[in-house]
Amino acid sequence: MNTVILKSILTCPHCNFAKQEIMPTDSCQFYYECDNCKALLRPNPGDCCVFCSFGSVLCPPIQAQKQCCG
């Protein structure tokens, strides 16, 4: 069984600001406000959450090869 990584570095596509965040394990995160430029990030088409679109690590359900809530 693979270990699920819970920390991911989110990088804003608008200003390239990066910040490490802890991913939720009980829900998907559909929105994320960049701490630097205040842009509201949403998942790219086909991705289930902001971590899958802008994170250094995919969200926990995808890592575990399960259905995500997106």
Number of domains in the chain: 1
In this prediction the pTM is 0.88
Residue 52's domain spans which residues? 7-63
DSSP for residue 46: T
Tell me the pLDDT tens digit for each residue of 9-55. 999 999 999 999 999 987 789 999 999 999 999 999 999 899 999 99
pLDDT for res 27: 79
The phi and psi torsions of 55 (rounded to 5 degrees) equal -95, 160
Give the model's pLDDT for residue 1: 53
Helix ranges (DSSP H) in 12-56: 50-54
When pLDDT is cut at 50, 70 and 90, the band that residue 69 belongs to is low
Res. 70: pLDDT tops 70: no
* Residue at 70 is within a domain: no
